Amino acid sequence: MAGKPIILAVDDDPDVLQAIAHDVRHGFGEHFRVMRAESGDRALEVLRRLRLADEPVALLLVDQRMPGLTGIELLSASVGLYPDAKTALLTAYADTDVAITAINEVRLDHYLVKPWDPPEERLFPVLDDLLEDWTATHRPTFGGIRVIGHRWSVESHTARDFLARNQVPYRWLDLTSDPEALELLDLTGQTADRCPILVFPDGDVLVAPTTAQIAEKAGIGGHAEVPLYDLIIIGAGPAGLAAAVYGASEGLSTLVIEGEAAGGQAGQSSRIENYLGFPKGLSGSDLSRRALTQARRFGAELLLAREVTAISSDPGALAVTLSDGSTIRGHSVVIATGVAYNRLAAPGVDEFTGRGVYYGAALSEAATVKDEDVYIVGSANSAGQAAIHLATLARRVTILVRGAALEAKMSQYLADRILSTDNIEVRCRATIAEVRGTDHLEEVVILDGASGESTTESANHVFVFIGAAPRTSWLDGAVVRDEHGFITTGTAILAGDSAKAWSEERDPYLLETSIPGVFAAGDVRLGSAKRVATAVGEGASAVLSVWQYRAGMGL
């Protein structure tokens, strides 16, 4: 029934209300949902709830003589909630003058004199015309989450970016420019300083929620279903998802834990064109969606918006501790937490992060750059892919490259495309020296490394893609890492001082860390190639090492 346009019948007489609802449902129930309210006040409550849930109301069929709100008073109050709904008034013969007056005062569409028997002759033709008129002009409502907030709010950006990266449909309502945002804010009874406010399709509201709360309410958070897993994978980027597919498809009970969104850095890429088997390329979000669907098809479970804080040995297993203090046990663990972009070191950057300065492609912000000037800092493939995508929307895209040439770190096909795109400008030996603004980013100061001169330019959007630091700070002291935090694996552990950390008589398996049974794959691993295809390959290879470990342990 959910999703059908609604016909709301209102009458204070229970027998009459039941009869009108029965007749209307009999005549129109196939295409419309019939609801009832026993008073005008109750009907107004129902309409407010339906409006909050963005449910379509096609027709109000209302009795005139009711205690409290009369039928006309109810219809007058309903205009602000459902101005396009058709209206019909049920009247006694003595009230026909009132009904005629209401045609002018509340733009009443029709009135019906009680009784309406037989409905096939006296009710259905009238309602059929009204509903046909409504259907002809009705635009289907958006069925996803509505996010109310301020464009330059860090918290609003975080909520939108989380939904976008997890491919949860939502509609953004800016309090400074969208009348619907103010209307919904009033309906929720909240104030603008408590944003973001998320209104869900069922009418439930979350006020300034955490990403974990959003994931739980949106039904994407997941739960650990078994007490002991064969394989726990930390991180749902290409390496982690590949490990999940190969582990689950081969019968291992598999759990993937992800702190942010499936896909990792690759999931933010607008177009990956050098991935085997996709000659036209595919977006990072599409690749992530396909891989996640594939892993789930084989039975892999996903815990989303959960941070892992520690790994430790547990009798007969390994223990993975989450930020909420809970522990999940598994025989083997694959660490595939990937990397994060390095922070841009310039005055003002931290202040305006999430308010004009963004790390990565920030999918939620793409629509806001239309006809504006955008700056991209970085020269690797991720920066190039973002530049090409944003150039289809923005007036101009400027890429700031610290080095002498764009091609030094970027694949040639990307560099060639960028240099041939009219509204993309590449400035080599250029860096951002400072960012400025009031409540959001308004200016950037760009330093020319060749001349030493700086210029100040207007800007609302800076996307940063500089370097990468492994997401391994939570592993401090637990496994062997290099000075930059990348995880050492395999026989490389046996070289130098790190050999003291290996306690087994056998050599480490391929991709195994200094903790037996714990493996690392993808960008987080020392010596990885930092490419999507190689990360996928390492994820699959890690599962082969898991099988070796299981065989050695007699599992």
Instruction: Please tell me the distance from the alpha carbon of residue 541 to that of residue 255, in angstroms, as a whole number.
Output: 17
Please say which residue of 198, 218, 238 terminates a domain: 218
Instruction: Please tell me the distance from the alpha carbon of residue 432 to that of residue 398, in angstroms, as a whole number.
Output: 12
In this prediction, residue 407 carries a pLDDT of 87
- 450 and 359 in a single domain? The answer is yes
Instruction: Please tell me the distance from the alpha carbon of residue 461 to that of residue 386, in angstroms, as a whole number.
Output: 13
Burial of 532 (0-12, 13-18, 19+ CB in 10 A): buried
Q: For the range 22-30, what are the long-range contacts, defined as Cβ-Cβ under 8 Å and sequence gap of 24 or more?
A: 23/116, 23/119, 23/123, 24/61, 24/123, 24/127, 26/119, 27/119, 27/120, 27/123, 27/124, 27/127, 27/128, 28/127, 28/128, 28/131
- 10 and 97 in a single domain? The answer is yes
| H or E, element range at 341 | strand 339-341
Can you tell me which residue has the tokens 């099988």?
A: 547
| H or E, element range at 35 | strand 33-37
Please indicate, yes or no, if residue 194 is contained in any of the structural domains.
yes
With a cut of 70, say whether residue 242 has pLDDT above it. Answer: yes
Structural domain tally of the chain? Answer: 4
- What angle do helix axes 179-188 and 40-52 make, rounded to 10 degrees? 130
With a cut of 50, say whether residue 1 has pLDDT above it. Answer: no
Please say which residue of 194, 218, 242 terminates a domain: 218
- 292 and 380 in a single domain? The answer is no
In this prediction, residue 506 carries a pLDDT of 94
Please say which residue of 69, 104, 137 terminates a domain: 137
Per residue in 26-76, pLDDT (tens digit) is 999 999 999 999 999 999 999 999 998 889 999 999 998 899 899 989 999
Q: Which amino acid is at 240?
A: G
With a cut of 90, say whether residue 485 has pLDDT above it. Answer: yes
Per residue in 134-179, pLDDT (tens digit) is 988 887 777 789 999 998 999 999 999 999 989 898 999 999 989 8
Buried b (16+ CB within 10 A) or exposed e, 264-278: bbbbbbbbbbebeee
Break the chain down into helix, strand, coil percent, rounded to 5.
35, 25, 40
Per residue in 382-417, pLDDT (tens digit) is 899 999 999 998 999 999 999 999 988 898 999 999
| H or E, element range at 15 | helix 14-28
Kindly report the number of other CB atoms within 10 A of residue 124's CB atom.
Answer: 17
In this prediction, residue 48 carries a pLDDT of 93
Mean local confidence (pLDDT), 346-354: 95
Please indicate, yes or no, if residue 1 is contained in any of the structural domains.
no
Residue 245's pLDDT band (cuts 50, 70, 90): very high
DSSP annotation of 355: T
- What CA–CA distances, in Å, run from 239 to 193, 233, 235? 40, 10, 8
Residue 94's pLDDT band (cuts 50, 70, 90): low
Kindly report the number of other CB atoms within 10 A of residue 155's CB atom.
Answer: 16
Instruction: Please tell me the distance from the alpha carbon of residue 329 to that of residue 96, in angstroms, as a whole number.
Output: 73
Q: Which amino acid is at 266?
A: A
CATH classification at residue 118 = 3.40.50.2300
- 490 and 412 in a single domain? The answer is no
In this prediction, residue 219 carries a pLDDT of 92
Q: For the chain, what is the mean pLDDT?
A: 92
Q: Which amino acid is at 509?
A: Y
CATH classification at residue 176 = 3.40.30.10
With a cut of 80, say whether residue 101 has pLDDT above it. Answer: no
Mean local confidence (pLDDT), 342-367: 88
- 149 and 212 in a single domain? The answer is yes
CATH classification at residue 456 = 3.50.50.60
Per residue in 437-478, pLDDT (tens digit) is 999 999 999 999 989 999 999 999 999 999 889 999 999 889
- 335 and 474 in a single domain? The answer is yes
Instruction: Please tell me the distance from the alpha carbon of residue 319 to that of residue 24, in angstroms, as a whole number.
Output: 60
Please indicate, yes or no, if residue 223 is contained in any of the structural domains.
no
DSSP annotation of 337: -
| H or E, element range at 302 | strand 301-304
- 330 and 475 in a single domain? The answer is yes
Please indicate, yes or no, if residue 149 is contained in any of the structural domains.
yes
- What CA–CA distances, in Å, run from 106 to 73, 132, 224? 9, 21, 55
Q: Phi then psi for 523, rounded to 5 degrees?
A: -60, -20
The set of residues, in sequence order, having a beta carbon less than 8 Å from that of 551 and lying 6+ positions away, is none
- 450 and 481 in a single domain? The answer is no
Instruction: Please tell me the distance from the alpha carbon of residue 75 to that of residue 213, in angstroms, as a whole number.
Output: 37
- Virtual torsion, Cα 473, 477, 480, 482, nearest 10 deg: 50
Tokens of 550: 């299981």
Q: Which of 260, 225, 34 is nearest to 127 (CA)?
A: 34
- 474 and 335 in a single domain? The answer is yes
- 370 and 428 in a single domain? The answer is yes
Per residue in 35-46, pLDDT (tens digit) is 999 999 999 999
Residue 78: which domain range? 6-137
With a cut of 80, say whether residue 95 has pLDDT above it. Answer: no
Q: Which of 59, 48, 49, 104 is nearest to 86 (CA)?
A: 59
Per residue in 168-205, pLDDT (tens digit) is 989 999 999 898 899 999 999 999 999 999 999 888 99
Residue 10, helix vs strand vs coil: strand
- 87 and 36 in a single domain? The answer is yes
Tokens of 110: 């029709």
Can you tell me which residue has the tokens 């960012």?
A: 435
Instruction: Please tell me the distance from the alpha carbon of residue 359 to that of residue 370, in angstroms, as a whole number.
Output: 19
- 243 and 333 in a single domain? The answer is yes
